[in-house]
Structure 1
Amino acid sequence: MRYGHTSMVNFLSQLVMSFSGFVATIVLTRTLGQEQYGTYVVVISVLAWVAIAGDLGLGPAVKKRVSEATGGNYIMAGAITQFGLYAVVAVCLWIFHPQLNEFIGFEAASILIVLLAARLAANFVQAVLDGQHLVHVSSILTPIEWTSRSLVQVTLVLSGFGVVGALAGYVIGAVAGVLIGAYFVSGRLSLPSKRDFLMLKSYAQFSWLASIKGRTFLSMDTLVLAVFVSNSLIAVYEIAWNLASLFAIFGSSIQRTLFPEISKLSSEEGISGEITGLLRVSLTYSGLFIIPGLVGGAAVGDIVLQIYGRGFQTGYYILLMLTSARLLYGYQGQFLTTLDAIDRPDLTFRINAVFVATNIVLNVILTWQFGWYGAAAATTGSAALGLTLGYYYASNVMNVVVPLTEIGKQWVAAGAMAAVVYALRLLVGDMLPVAVALVGVGAVVYFSVLLALSREFRATVEENLPVSVSLLTAESP
């Protein structure tokens, strides 16, 4: 894997982020309770949507144009545009604050204006760093942000500040990431030209829908659930979603790493065999962790959910459905990232338009009829449709090689892992500490079997280890 080191840095950073968030979430759910934690989740979901209005595809456009091998003062043009968008959205939030507060059930409008500023600044800095091929730097910002956020949230919530303390921690974490990331950004402090703004617009006019698509996948179900079910159930649903997302971080790391590389290759050479090879690599490793995560969740997920408190184990089937959705969405993301990188945002726009419309309609209808199971089914169905469309459009513009054999080996290794873990569970019981130990055993079994089955995986591991390991270089049996 040519870019394995950068992907691994990003993955490990995301892992640190997830661990800090995992610990903080346990404290928040146990201290705030399901109802107040559900309120916090709704506020953050609303923030995510208003952040889209404050971005309108600008972040992806900045990342794309900065990553190309051409000139242009896109950083300053992007910064000026970003400030203008923020000002418009902040005014709208203030005008409609009564309706917003009523929907959330909390006086959150003023806090949202501050949250929005921090979120947009953090996203912009990361987009610039990714575009400047500093993914290894921007990757570190996320765990810094999340760790800072978690420490402040835990401190304030335990001190009695409740939901307000949790939201304050969110702001402080984002500001910490912005200050550190801005130090590594390099660019001219001169006024941009009209062409710079037009080049950003030419990409953003298509990429804005990608942001809506991503947010629709991540939180449309949460917003619809807020209409039909209690905040307590939303809290359980969100925990299941967080666990499913934890398994998907390696696939996201690959997308983030390969985008600037494919973008540069495309701007210099057009669609080449190397780009085809990079897409195949991304498909090969997108499910590396989430496939065993899905199978392992089926084996011990009901026990693991208990760590968040009483009642959370009711999200077991939701966890499995959402993990399946994350798996499909991860493969979809590899196709769409490649299309965006080769400067075909018009194709991803079509895919995203269908995805968003389908997701909204399915969420409303299925959640209305079947509650949270309907919401999870809507998310999974939308991901499957997006994957199908992603493959179709990518195949129309380039040669797509789907590594079915390598993906199949990952499923075989996950099956072996599940057999061992479930047998041990029957033998030693359902205690939570035992389940944690079984997760570790399952990981060892999965990667051991995969190393034995896949010569390609052994070669990838060997390339990215600091020292040579003779066991990994052995021939396949």
Structure 2
Amino acid sequence: MDLARSTLKISAAKVGSLLLTFVGTAFFAQELGAKVLGIFFLFQAALGISALPANLGTRIAVEKRMSEGGPADQILGTGIVLKSALLVFLTGVILLFQSHLNRYIGAEVAGLLILAIFFQEFAGLMMNVLQGELRVGEAATLRFVYSVVLVTLGALLVVHGYGVFGLIYSVILGKVIQLLWAIYKTSVGIGRPTITQAHSLIDYAKYSIIPEVDGQVHSWMDVLIIGFLLTQADVGAYEVAWRVAGPVLLLTSAIGTTIFPQISSWSADDTIEPLERLLPKIIVPSVIFVFPALFGGLLLSEEILGLVFGEEFTAAWLALIILLAGKLPRAIRQIAGKSLLGLDRPDLVTHAAIVDIIANLLLNLVLIWQFGIVGAALGTVLSMTLGTIHRTYYLSQFVKIRIPYNELGWCLLSSVAMYGILYMAKSTVEVNSISYLFVFVFTGAALYGVFILLYQPLRVEVVEQARAVIR
């Protein structure tokens, strides 16, 4: 598998998805307001958290065993049986507590949630199959397709008065299309389930459950607690800030998705040296956008939220800055975690994830109660930092991690220079319209890019990666 080319495909798909999602969220925020949008975000949070008992590590286990060269059809058939059993159980639980769930979210959505979980899980399983075949670029394309359906259909339904239900219908249809397309794309048939493969999948999945919980906890725990302790409008404002900060780790996510099956393949061959050579090359790309995003947030967080989404969303300006700062430990955490999973050490990721989960729950409960949505951002970032430290330590026990301090320092220095120039410009030009805001953002990006290319090691790396993608 060509890592550079696969990373480019994933990045392109994610850029498209994020641009669509950003524009869509801005439109939905202006049309629906923070409270109604908060109801939709709580539905998405329930969908995300429900994926835990509906999955229990089976999807990543299928990808892992397939990437090792096992009998793909039997692995898939066994994975489908395991997932079906989990979905039947979860459906019963949701039906049992549907009145409480509807009251918490703020709309009658329990039945729609069951449909969304069903299609989400099987679509996700088939995309893991594609990744297990080392076809990660094609799986990324399917995620882009989902974003297209969600935003375009959602916009149409919102305009025609369907409100929050229009967005929920769009989620479900997007997952249906994703599933059908993934089935068409994959070359793996559904084989006869076997006890041997079930034991193999469960053996890997049992260590992947906690890291999986950890990922969903960091994505949705703060939102769920805000929903309990604060208001749906607070949910809407905070989640918009979270989504504004999300694109910062676009390249990091693409790199993490790409390297997992490759590291898994190296691990199966008992080869560590390629990973030691790879890590220093992916650390800088993983965090290169974090520094300018943080300094840009320090300068323009209120303008971004107010002008793009609406004045009621500016309540989350400080939370946005904190979340942007938290992208640095999150980037390192993602690369270290994927590396450990690829090395077939999900047990160590599990140990680190337990720290994450406990810290996230306790810190969010206390800090949200004390400081509102700012406390949510603080709790999430602090717990994530603890998990990053643990993952990095465990990875260092297997491979020598060389940190490119000079390159990282130059990235930081370039961000400070960019901030200084934009700060002086803002002192004379008021950012009071979206057009002025875009000028500032694009100017900052251009300045940062120029400063980065002034440093020869980074310039050489950019050229080498560009050649690797083109050839």
Name the TM tier (shorter chain). Answer: over 0.9
Map 1:199-218 → 2, pairs under 5 A: 199-218=200-219
Contact 2:214 2:353 (C-alpha < 8 Å) held by counterparts: yes
Q: TM-score, normalised by structure 2?
A: 0.96
What is the percent sequence identity of the aligned residues? 26
| Separation in structure 1 between the aligned mates of residue 116 and residue 189 of structure 2, nearest angstrom | 28
The residue that corresponds to 2:278 in the other structure is: 278
The corresponding residue for 1:471 is none
* 1:321 aligned partner: 322
Q: 2:28 aligned with 1:23, yes or no?
A: no
**Aligned counterpart for 1:438 among listed residues 415, 437, 440:** 440
How far the C-alpha of 1:192 sits from its partner, in A, is 3.0
1:310 is matched with 311
Q: Contact between 2:452 and 2:458, CA under 8 Å: does it hold in 1? A: no
Match of 1:56 in 2: 56
What do the CA deviations read for 1:255-285 (whole angstroms, capped 9, x no partner)? 0011111110110134x21111222223221
Partner secondary structure for residue 397 of structure 1: coil
- Alpha-carbon distance between aligned partners in 1 of 2:118 and 2:245, rounded to the nearest angstrom: 28
Q: Are 1:279 and 1:335, in contact at CA under 8 Å, matched by a contact in 2?
A: no
**Equivalent residue letter for 2:466:** N
What's the counterpart of residue 291 of structure 1?
A: 291
Comparing 68-77 with 12-21, greater Cα deviation is found at: 68-77
Structure-2 change in CA distance of 1:58 and 1:189 (3 Å)? closer
CA contact (8 A) 2:5 2:468 kept: no
Instruction: Name which of structure 1's ranges 406-415 and 162-171 shifts more when overlaid on structure 2.
Output: 406-415
Question: Which residue identity does 1:421 align to in structure 2?
Answer: L
Name 1:4's counterpart in structure 2.
4
Give the paired residue count: 467
Indicate conservation of the 8 Å contact 1:131/1:260, yes or no.
yes
Aligned residues of 1:409 and 1:454 also touching (Cα < 8 A): no
Distance 1:98 1:2 in 2: 50
- The answer on 1:190 being equivalent to 2:191 is yes
Tell me, in whole angstroms, the C-alpha distance in 1 between the residues paired with 2:463 and 2:57: 36
How does 1:328-343 map onto structure 2 within 5 Å? Answer: 328-343=329-344
Contact 1:279 1:338 in 2 (8 A): no
Distance in 2 between residues matched to 1:285 and 1:314, nearest whole Å:
32
Structure 1 residue 26 displacement after superposition = 1.6
Structure 1 contact 258–278 (Cα < 8 Å) conserved: no
Query: In the alignment, is the contact (CA less than 8 A) between 2:13 and 2:143 conserved in 1?
Result: yes
- Following the alignment from structure 1 to structure 2, what is the Cα–Cα distance between the partners of residues 405 and 175? 47
8 Å contact 1:297–1:319 — kept in the other structure? yes
> Structure 1, unaligned stretches of length 5 or more?
469-477
What is the SS of the residue equivalent to 2:376? helix
Superposed displacement of residue 428, structure 1 = 2.1
Q: What is the 5 A alignment of 1:55-454?
A: 55-71=55-71, 73-270=74-271, 272-306=272-306, 307-432=308-433, 433-454=435-456
Contact kept in structure 1, 2:14 and 2:250, CA below 8 Å: yes
Question: How far did 1:466 drift?
Answer: 8.2
User: Over the residues paired in the alignment, what is the CA RMSD in angstroms?
Assistant: 1.7
Q: CA deviation at 1:86?
A: 1.2
- Partner Cα distance (1:364, 1:457) in 2: 45
* Distance (Å, rounded) in 2 between the aligned partners of 1:463 and 1:334: 18
Q: Which residue of 2 aligns with 1:472?
A: none
**Alpha-carbon shift at residue 326 of structure 1 (Å):** 2.3
Unaligned ranges ≥5, structure 2: none
The normalised TM-score by structure 1 is 0.94
Cα displacement (A) at 1:457: 4.4
Deviation at 1:224, TM superposition (A): 0.7
1:466–1:346 distance in 2 versus 1, CA, 3 Å: closer
Aligned partners of 2:5, 2:428: CA distance in 1, in Å? 39
Alpha-carbon offset, residue 465 of structure 1: 4.5
**What letter is aligned with 1:60?**
I
Does the 8 A contact of 1:255 with 1:282 survive in 2?
no
CA deviation after TM superposition for structure 1 residue 2, in Å: 6.5
Q: Which amino acid aligns with 1:393?
A: Y
Equivalent position amino acid for 1:8 in 2 = L
**Quick check: 2:316–2:374 contact (8 Å CA) kept in 1?**
no
Query: Do 2:76 and 2:191's aligned partners in 1 also have CA atoms closer than 8 Å?
Result: no
CA positional deviation for 1:399: 1.6
Q: Do 1:266 and 1:341's aligned partners in 2 also have CA atoms closer than 8 Å? A: yes
- 1:114 Cα deviation from its structure 2 partner: 0.8
Which deviates more, 428-437 or 212-221? Answer: 428-437
Structure 1 residues 467 and 250, CA, compared in 2 at 3 Å: closer, same or farther? closer
Q: Is the CA contact (8 Å cut-off) linking 1:5 and 1:464 kept in structure 2?
A: no
CA distance in 1, matches of 2:444, 2:460: 19
Task: Tell me, in whole angstroms, the C-alpha distance in 2 between the residues paired with 1:182 and 1:153.
Answer: 24
Shift of 1:314: 2.4
- The Cα offsets for residues 412-466 of structure 1, whole Å up to 9 and x where unpaired, read as 1211221222222223221231111111111111111111114244333343248
Partner of residue 38, structure 2 = 38
Structure 1 CA distance for aligned equivalents of residues 381 and 131 of structure 2: 29
Determine if contact 1:11/1:250 at 8 Å carries over to the other structure: yes
